[in-house]
Structure 1
C-alpha cells in the first residue's frame, strides 16, 4: 500500500471510496427509529468532488491517498492549513482495508502537514479512529445534532439580519480568528457559491450562518450567543421538511435550547476533535470546512 499525495486524477476514485466508507459507517450507526440509509446521490457525489478539488487547489500538501498495488484508492485524508489552524476535511479507509495500518499512514501524512498548528475536525465514533485521534493529542468533545420538523407556531421574530456577500468576508475572517484561531479564507467563496449566507453586521454582535436550500445549517459563527440564536432561528424558519442543526457541543448549548424550543429532537453524534485549542463557541462547525 502506497501513501502518496493526491492528484487531480484521483478525485473520482476517492469519491467512490468515500461513498462506500461512509455508507457502511452510517448503516452501522443507524438507530432503529431512523430511516434506512441511502447511497450518496449523484448530486452529492459531484459536490464532494468539487469541494475536494478546491482543497487540492488551495493546499495540495494536505491531500493524501492510499493506493494499493492494482491502483485502487483504499483510503484518503484531505486536510488544509488556514493561517494558524489545520483542519481535517475528510478521512476514511475502505471497510475491507481497515485495521491494516492504512489509516495510521494517512493520518501521519496529514498531521505532518499540520506542523505545530492548532487542529480541529469532526470525528465519528469508530473505536479505531477515535483511539488514533486521542493518541495524536486531540481532545474529543461529544457533540449532538438536532433534527425534526420545526414547530412554526413558535418561530421567533428576528430582526437585524441581512443577506451576505463577498463584501462581508473580511470581518467574517476576523470573527473566525477570534473564535477558532484563523479565518476560513478561500473557503468562503466556495460556500457562498453553493449556500445562502445570512449575516448580522451590528457592531454590538456580528455573526453569520451558511444555510443550504433545505434550510439546513452548514456553518454558524457569532460574537455573542444572542446573535447566534437569531441566526439559528432564521435558518430554522427557512427549513423545508426536516430541519438539521449540526455539531452542538456543550459550549454551544444555546443551539440546543433553540432547537428544543422549535420542537426538534436531540441525537448523539460523534465528536468535535480539537488540539491546542478549545472547542469554539458560539460556533457550529461545518463537516468539510470546520
Structure 2
C-alpha cells in the first residue's frame, strides 16, 4: 500500500471524488446531492483542491499496487480546531484497516489542535471509527422538502447580501459559536454560494446558501439565526427541494423554522466532536470548509 498526499490538480480531485462515490454511492458522494451533475462535480473538484492547497498535510490518498486507489481522507486545521471532511474507503478494501491508516494520518496532522469536528453520514463503520478515535458522537437531523414560503411570513429585520469585506465579522461569529474561525475557507464558500449577513443592535450572523442547500450558518442569538435561516428558505426557487443536514438537537430554533416552512424532520448521521459541545447557534452541514 502507498500513502501519498492529495495533489492540487484536477486529476487528483477527480480521483478523490470517485473514491467517495464508490464508498458512499453517487447520490451521497463527497458533498451529497444538489444541482446539475456538471456543476456539482465542479464544486467538488474546487473544494478538494482547496483543502489540498491549504492543508496538504491533512489530505491523503491510499493506493494499492494491484487494485489502484482504495481510500482517501481530507482534513484541515483552523485556529486550534481540526476538522475531518472526508474519510472514504472503496468497498473492496473495507475491513482491511485502510480507513484506520488514513484516519491515523489525518489525526496526526491535527495532533496540536485541542478541538475536533466531523459530520458523519448514516454509516456504522464511520461512527465506530470516529468513536474509537476518541470523539463523542451526537445524533443529528435532516430538514428537507419544498418550502411553503407563504407560511414563513415577513422577516423580523434586515438581511443583507454579504461580500469578502464581511470576513472579520464572520470569523468573530465563528469563534463564538464553534471555537474557531473558518479563515481561508470563506474564499472557497464565496465562490459557490450567496452570502447573507445580519449586523445590527441585536447582534451579528451569516449564512451561506445556494439553491437547494444551506451550507453554513452562525449567529450570536436565536433570533438572528432564525432570521437568517428564514431568509435562506424564502430565497429558494418555488417548487425546489431544499436539504439541510446534520442539524443538532440543540438547534431547536432551526426545527421551529422547518416546521413553519413545512419541511420534513428526519434522523441524519452524527456530529463527532472533541472538546466541543454541539453548537446551538451554528449549522455546519459539512465540515468543508
Task: Name the TM-score, length of structure 1 as normaliser.
Answer: 0.91
For the 8 Å contact 1:163–1:199, the answer to whether it is kept is yes
Kindly tell me the number of residue pairs found equivalent between the two proteins. Answer: 280
Among candidates 8, 19, 22, match of residue 20 of structure 1: 22
SS at match of 1:254: helix
For the 8 Å contact 1:200–1:206, the answer to whether it is kept is yes
Show CA shifts across 1:188-217 (max 9, x none): 0111111000000114220000011x1521
Q: Which runs of 5+ in 1 are unaligned?
A: 28-36
Displacement after TM superposition at 1:11 (Å): 2.2
**Corresponding position of 2:3:** 3
Kindly report the root-mean-square deviation, in angstroms, between the aligned alpha carbons of the 2 structures.
Answer: 2.0
Among candidates 217, 220, 226, match of residue 217 of structure 2: 220
Displacement after TM superposition at 1:245 (Å): 2.2
**Corresponding position of 1:47:** 43
- Kindly indicate whether residue 142 of structure 2 is the aligned counterpart of residue 140 of structure 1: no
**Corresponding position of 2:158:** 160
Q: 4+ residue stretches of structure 1 with deviation over 3 A?
A: 24-27
**Corresponding position of 1:81:** 77
For the 8 Å contact 2:47–2:288, the answer to whether it is kept is no
Q: Map 1:1-290; keep pairs closer than 5 Å.
A: 1-8=1-8, 9-23=11-25, 26=28, 41-70=37-66, 72-117=68-113, 118-158=115-155, 159-212=157-210, 214-240=211-237, 241-289=240-288
State the distance in 1 between where 2:14 and 2:244 align: 29
State the distance in 1 between where 2:158 and 2:212 align: 19
State the distance in 1 between where 2:194 and 2:212 align: 9
For the 8 Å contact 1:89–1:287, the answer to whether it is kept is yes
Q: Which runs of 5+ in 2 are unaligned?
A: none
State the distance in 2 between where 1:289 and 1:249 align: 17
State the distance in 2 between where 1:54 and 1:7 align: 10
SS at match of 2:253: helix
State the distance in 2 between where 1:161 and 1:42 align: 31
